[in-house]
Amino acid sequence: MKSKVEAILRNTINDLIDKGDIPGIELNDDIVEVPPNKDLGDFATNIAMVMASKTKKAPREIAGIIADAMSSYQEIFEEVAIAGPGFINLYIKPAYWVNILRDIHIQKERFGTSNHGAKKKVQIEFVSANPTGPLHIGHGRGAAVGDTLARILTATGFDVQKEYYINDIGNQMEILGRSVFLRYLELCGQKKPFPEDGYQGEYIKDLASELKQGYGEKLLTYSTDDAIEASKEFAGKKMLDGIRHDLDMFDVSFDNWFRESALFKEGKIENTLSWLKDKGLIYEHDGALWFRTAKFGDEKDRVIRKQDGSLTYFASDIAYHKDKLQRGFKWIIDIWGADHHGYVPRMKAAIEAFGANADCFHALLIQLVSLVRAGTPVSMSTRAGEFVTLREIVDEVGKDATRYFFLMRRCDSHLEFDIELAKKRNEENPVFYIQYAHARICSILKKASKEGLTPDIKNADLGRLTTGDDLGLIKILAAYPTLLISCASALEPHRISFYLMDLASSFHRFYNKNRVISDDKDLTLARLTLIEAVRQVISNALWLMGIGAPEVM
RNA sequence: GCCCCCGUAGCUCAGGGGAUAGAGCACAGGAUUCCUAAUCCUGGUGUCGCAGGUUCGAAUCCUGCCGGGGGCACCA
């Protein structure tokens, strides 16, 4: 609805500017807003004030000219009023509002989608945890945010690919191989001191035990290097399988799994380095190879090949991102933990070095999750082997509540995850409050259906939906498509959870005050179409969050 | 020392140039012969961390400071 009003306003203003009735200015993207309270209309614009401040004219005079022109859209606006210092307040006719119900009934699960993204190719890379341990709760937040963002971007018309980058080589994998092999040796009765930097977790012992089941004591006959290599292969594969399984259980899927090792196998690292060399963007210094990232706004140049001849992870990352650009993505979104924020400037530098605009790369930084269990903070550290896995949380509180909690705060805000609250099956817990609204509607529809009454948009007399409660619900439904576009533009999925709370609470209030099924058959039929529309939108929004919409609770 | 994020009601957090700053929870009282009471209604709070600045207008933008968290490797 907002976009319709905005289109009308835009046309009206441009006509007036062409005629010379009002001063000409460039119109921003956002010219229509929703006023802070209902008395001030359904929509409002401050455009007259903006024009006035730029041209030193009286804002209310300009507002008057625009308001007069807007008033000619009589089928849409009930009233166009000038208020305060120069706001133009727009009141939509009830008969026009109800049209949104027709849209919902026709589009069903597609309601809310748009072509805002114009099929722009966007890649969103997230989770990308090293296969050296199970996913923990921090990965879970990244997974929920990434997956939901991908769904939102798809819904708003982007051509989205979800990718997981597997660091399947390098130091961390070596440590995994050694750690598992040492535990294997213990199982074979050859206990050796466990190194400081080894992985301490119990899961390493589980892997060692599986390794022993697979190989028996055969690894004892291998050279140490070969045994570690075999352990690494075995453990890496097992861990990756486990990660895939955990993500699957969390309703998170990927379109592509990209292995770091493939960059080496396919010569992409070498190609990238020689490309950079041709461009004069790398140089030797102190026996290392440096990339001139400072030239592109980074605070200093970065090493890509160390003195000892081995490559840094940055070398892989630049080759990886060059590959992303070559695959044709116009918008590259990486979801990282906030502790990687220092890495952003050098990655942007790399993107620019490849000739792309730095704006096409966006690192979304996810802040920490602090877990609260019975009032006690639970600390997490992979190294110490003392962490709470995603799987444990999902097993305990369920997938729906877990995803909701991960998505209910802005990404750059620390998240306090209260396990006890997430487990509650009552009003204190927002996710159940929302799901309950959905189940309640299903229950009413079921009862109506037994009486032979079903929502029928073609025959319903929507003119009967005239009370403030009816229209209040309709207005929230009408805001849904705009909400999704704002989530996509700002990369802020948490807005959906606030929207759902608003919609669910409006429905519960409506339910307690009004009867859907009554003796008034026409009103009943009209309201059945209304609540079916509410159900549809709740279901659509929950789907974007990866949360189920139960019919019975 | 430098950089990034955060600081809004008792708690957890929305709002990120615009009109009287909001929600959930917590707390207290009330509502069910009737579509799910897992619900609803009624109660009230704020030096928007502090101080300057920009603006017709600042919780919002800029600068400085204070407090919390995180980063500043030829680690990943």
Residue nearest to nucleotide B6 (CA to C1'): A413
Interval A97-125 mean pLDDT: 95
**In this model, does residue A197 exceed pLDDT 90?**
no
CA A179/CA A201 separation, integer angstroms: 10
**In this model, does residue A26 exceed pLDDT 80?**
no
> What is the DSSP track for A465-523?
--SHHHHHHHHHHHTHHHHHHHHHHHT-THHHHHHHHHHHHHHHHHHHH--SS-S-HHH
Q: What is the pLDDT of residue A62?
A: 85
Any idea which nucleotide's C1' is nearest the CA of A315? Answer: B74
Structure tokens at A163: 């990718």
Nearest to A407 by CA among A51, A33, A151, A49: A151
For residue A46, which amino acid is it?
A: N
Is residue A8 within 8 Å of A15, Cβ to Cβ?
A: no
Residue nearest to nucleotide B36 (CA to C1'): A440
- Pairing relationship of beta strands A282-285 and A369-373 according to DSSP bridges: unpaired
Q: What is the pLDDT of residue A374?
A: 58
CA A405/CA A520 separation, integer angstroms: 41
What burial class does residue A375 get, using C-beta atoms within 10 Å of its C-beta: 0-12 exposed, 13-18 middle, 19+ buried? exposed
Q: Which residues pair with A122 in a beta bridge?
A: A160, A331
For residue A246, which amino acid is it?
A: D
**In this model, does residue A383 exceed pLDDT 70?**
no
Q: What is the pLDDT of residue A34?
A: 86
CA A154/CA A150 separation, integer angstroms: 6
Q: Is the CB of A428 under 7 A from strand B?
A: yes
Q: What is the pLDDT of residue A358?
A: 83
Interval A209-237 mean pLDDT: 94
Q: Name residues 361-380 of chain A with a Cβ under 7 Å from nucleic strand B.
A: 365, 367-368
Handedness of CA A104, A105, A109, A115 (dihedral sign): negative
Q: Is the CB of A79 under 7 A from strand B?
A: no
Any idea which nucleotide's C1' is nearest the CA of A424? Answer: B38
Q: How confident is the model at residue A510 (pLDDT cuts 50, 70, 90)?
A: very high
Q: Is the CB of A84 under 7 A from strand B?
A: yes
> Could you give the C-alpha distances from A519 to A516, A522, A523, in angstroms and in order?
10, 9, 9
Q: DSSP state, A357?
A: -
Any idea which nucleotide's C1' is nearest the CA of A81? Answer: B19
Please give the radius of gyration of chain A, using alpha carbons only, rounded to the nearest integer.
29
Q: Which long-range CB contacts under 8 A does A203-207 form with residues at least 24 apart?
A: A203/A133, A203/A134, A204/A179, A204/A180, A204/A235, A204/A385, A207/A180, A207/A183, A207/A234, A207/A235, A207/A238, A207/A239
Please provide the average confidence, as pLDDT, over all residues in chain A: 90
Q: Which residues pair with A417 in a beta bridge?
A: A371
The full set of domain ranges for chain A reads 2-92, 427-545
Strand order across the beta sheet in which A288-291 lies: A282-285, A288-291, A302-305
In sequence order, which residues have a C-beta less than 8 Å from that of residue A445 and are 6 or more positions away? A454, A455, A528, A531, A532, A535
> Could you give the C-alpha distances from A218 to A60, A86, A182, A298, in angstroms and in order?
88, 84, 14, 51
CA A234/CA A176 separation, integer angstroms: 10
Buried (b) or exposed (e) across A446-479, using 16+ Cβ within 10 A? eebeeeebebebeebebebbeeebbbebbbbbbb
What fold characterizes domain A2-92? Gyrase A; domain 2 (3.30.1360)
- Pairing relationship of beta strands A415-418 and A369-373 according to DSSP bridges: parallel
How do residues A333-353 score in pLDDT, each as one tens digit?
999 988 888 899 899 999 999
Query: Can you tell me which residue has the tokens 């399947």?
Result: A168
CA A107/CA A469 separation, integer angstroms: 24
The dihedrals phi and psi of A442, each to the nearest 5 degrees, come to: -60, -40
Q: Is the CB of A486 under 7 A from strand B?
A: no
Interval A29-52 mean pLDDT: 84
> What is the DSSP track for A187-203?
HTT---PPPTTS---HH
Mapping DSSP to helix (H, G, I), strand (E, B) and coil, where does residue A279 land?
coil
Q: Is the CB of A110 under 7 A from strand B?
A: no
Interval A86-101 mean pLDDT: 91
Q: Is the CB of A44 under 7 A from strand B?
A: yes
Architecture of the CATH domain A427-545: Orthogonal Bundle (1.10)
For residue A441, which amino acid is it?
A: I
Nearest to A324 by CA among A349, A369, A279, A360: A360
How do residues A54-65 score in pLDDT, each as one tens digit?
776 777 888 889
How do residues A524-537 score in pLDDT, each as one tens digit?
999 999 999 999 99
Any idea which nucleotide's C1' is nearest the CA of A413? Answer: B6
Counting runs of H as helices and runs of E as strands, what totals does chain A give? 21, 14
Handedness of CA A472, A478, A484, A485 (dihedral sign): negative
What burial class does residue A401 get, using C-beta atoms within 10 Å of its C-beta: 0-12 exposed, 13-18 middle, 19+ buried? buried
**In this model, does residue A382 exceed pLDDT 60?**
no
How do residues A425-471 score in pLDDT, each as one tens digit?
877 789 999 999 999 999 999 999 998 899 989 888 999 998 889 99
Mapping DSSP to helix (H, G, I), strand (E, B) and coil, where does residue A400 land?
helix
Mapping DSSP to helix (H, G, I), strand (E, B) and coil, where does residue A119 land?
coil
Q: Is the CB of A288 under 7 A from strand B?
A: yes
Structure tokens at A267: 């010569």
CA dihedral A429, A38, A75, A58 (to 10 degrees): -130
CB atoms near residue A363 (< 10 Å): 17
Residues above pLDDT 90, as percent of chain A: 64
Chain B bases having any atom below 7 Å from a protein CB: 3-6, 12-15, 18-26, 31, 34-41, 55-57, 69-76
CA A411/CA A369 separation, integer angstroms: 10
How do residues A138-179 score in pLDDT, each as one tens digit?
899 999 999 999 999 999 999 999 999 999 988 889 999 999
**In this model, does residue A365 exceed pLDDT 60?**
yes
Rounded to whole angstroms, the distance from the CA of residue A304 to the C1' of nucleotide B37 is 64
Q: Name residues 247-266 of chain A with a Cβ under 7 Å from nucleic strand B.
A: none
